[in-house]
Amino acid sequence: MKFGTAVGIVISCVGIAMGATMEGTNVAVVLNVPAILIVLVGTLGASIAACGLEIHLKLPQLFKKAIMPDDLDLVGRVNEIVGYAEKARRDGLLALDEAVKEIKDPFTQKGVQLVVDGTDPDLVGAVLEAENDAMRQRHALGRAPFLQAGGYAPTMGIVGTVFGLVNVMNNLNQPSTLGPLIAAAFLATLMGVGSANIVFLPMANRLKELSQAEMHFREMTLEGILGIQAGDNPRVIAEKLMAYVPPAQRPSEEEQQAAKAAAQKQAA
């Protein structure tokens, strides 16, 4: 399921190519170098002007993140946190000191470390929320180039087409060349509208949804860490965190028991 974005772009391109071919158009015409220069380089430049150079050096990473997002295992995280809560209740908060080094997720690790260090609860909340705010801002900066490009590409397409039409108008006395010239002018519009609606805008939306899912994941984690620090009953923490999990993914009563047992063993 993780490859949704790549699959979607392929489906979209194949559908359009098949339709256009059936209409009798040679799809290869879109590989028009002037149109590509005007639309894609023009859009890239405008996007760099709008968002700065640095974020554009991370484009490969951002593409990869949109196409192969990390799995967010909500139930696994709930069980992990409930395991720590049980260990802390049984053996005291300091008993988590060893477990901390094993935690793979840096956010969870930082949170549990702060708790083990006996940091003031308000400060734990403040530090972790500052982390979340900063992540939200980084994500917003990361999807900005796609959002901006989605806005600029169609207008760069218009720029390309109008340039083409200016050329056409200055050659009205050679009627035989008009058709192909107008056709070529239209290709810029095609490239601009197509790239925006098949690549840039869908990727911007995908990155936004992935960011929201990660924030949701982290809020659940934060709630759990504060619960551990407050010494809440692990059953209560599980109840609270399970509300963050979509009902369809929630384990049945028995599954939950088994998972907890396994987590306890792991945390022990």
218-247 residues near its own copies, rule: CB under 8 A: 223, 236, 239-240, 243-247
CA dist list (Å): 111 to 98, 123, 201, 228, 257: 14, 11, 35, 10, 26
Cβ-based nearer residue to its own copies, 95 or 127: 127
Q: Quote the least distance from Cβ 85 to its own copies, whole Å.
A: 14
Per CB under 8 A, 4 contacts its own copies: yes
Among 99, 100, 196, 226, binds its own copies (CB under 8 A): 196
Q: Quote the least distance from Cβ 46 to its own copies, whole Å.
A: 5
Q: What's 245's DSSP letter?
A: S
Contacting its own copies within 111-140 (CB under 8 A): 114, 119, 123, 126-128, 130-131, 134, 137-138
Number of residues binding to its own copies, judged by CB under 8 A: 116
Among 63, 72, 125, 167, binds its own copies (CB under 8 A): 167
CA dist list (Å): 117 to 93, 97, 127, 164: 9, 9, 14, 67
Contacting its own copies within 86-105 (CB under 8 A): none
Cβ-based nearer residue to its own copies, 22 or 265: 22
Two tokens, residue 121: 């609860």
Cβ-based nearer residue to its own copies, 194 or 267: 194
Q: Quote the least distance from Cβ 183 to its own copies, whole Å.
A: 4
Residue 221, C-beta contacts closer than 8 angstroms, at least 6 positions apart: 77, 81, 105, 107, 108, 111
Task: State the virtual CA torsion across 114, 118, 123, 129 in degrees, nearest 10.
Answer: 30
Q: What's 26's DSSP letter?
A: -
Two tokens, residue 247: 């009902």
8 Å CB contact between 177 and 185: no
Cβ-based nearer residue to its own copies, 104 or 265: 104
Tell me the C-alpha distance between 45 and 252, whole Å.
Answer: 53
Cβ-based nearer residue to its own copies, 190 or 267: 190
Selection from 110, 156, 152, 102 nearest residue 130 by Cα = 110
Contacting its own copies within 17-36 (CB under 8 A): 18-20, 22-25, 29, 33-36
Q: Quote the least distance from Cβ 154 to its own copies, whole Å.
A: 8
Tell me the C-alpha distance between 115 and 133, whole Å.
Answer: 20
Instruction: Output the CA angle 144-214-249, nearest 5 degrees.
Output: 140
Q: Quote the least distance from Cβ 91 to its own copies, whole Å.
A: 24
Per CB under 8 A, 78 contacts its own copies: no
Q: Quote the least distance from Cβ 27 to its own copies, whole Å.
A: 8
Among 62, 116, 190, 225, binds its own copies (CB under 8 A): 190
Contacting its own copies within 31-60 (CB under 8 A): 33-54
Residue 59, C-beta contacts closer than 8 angstroms, at least 6 positions apart: 145
